[in-house]
Amino acid sequence: MQTVIIVIHLMVVSAMVGVVLLQRSEGGGLGMGNTGGFLTSRGTANVLTRATAVLAAVFFATSLTLSILAGLYRKPHSILEGTAPASQQVPSSAPAPLGEGGHGVLDQLRGQSQPAEPPSPLVPQSK
């Protein structure tokens, strides 16, 4: 159900973008002047205005429907219900916090075997 409404919503958005781009600019903000031709008649402007209004209403309806559907199955929950009981113990296999017992990341890295140092490029090697 949600997928169908999302597809309809996307088609309405695409159509609305197209209809808005077809409308004639009233202010001439880009200095385009008179374009002439198809979009100069008064009837065409009324059709595009009405189409924009209808598409905007359908866009609003699909947006509202999608938000209602998204909230239907959302269950309210309390942040207090999800907490662990205070008597729960930390398992013994868990690592100790840093700074306690010398089991930090640097201590673990120091305990590993060190790789052999690469030879210095300034000292010639014997074959």
The pLDDT tens digits for 27-57 are 655 555 555 555 555 566 788 889 999 999 9
Q: Where are the domains of the chain?
A: 1-14+43-73
Token pair, residue 13, equals: 């958005």
Q: Give me the helices (H) in the chain, please.
A: 2-22, 42-72, 105-111
**Residue 105: exposed, middle, or buried by beta-carbon count in 10 A (0-12, 13-18, 19+)?**
exposed
| Residue 113 CA: distances (Å) to CA of 63, 108, 109, 110, 116 | 61, 10, 8, 8, 9
What CA–CA distance (Å, rounded) separates 83 from 17? 48
Q: What DSSP designation does 101 have?
A: T
| pLDDT of 11 | 97
Range of weakest confidence among 1-5, 40-44, 55-59, 118-122:
40-44
- Helix, strand, coil percentages (3-state) for the chain, rounded to 5, are 50, 0, 50
Whole-model pTM: value is 0.49
Give me the percent of the chain exceeding a pLDDT of 70. Answer: 54
Token pair, residue 77, equals: 């929950």
| Residue 124 CA: distances (Å) to CA of 22, 49, 115 | 77, 84, 21
What CA–CA distance (Å, rounded) separates 9 from 69? 14
What CA–CA distance (Å, rounded) separates 105 from 92? 18
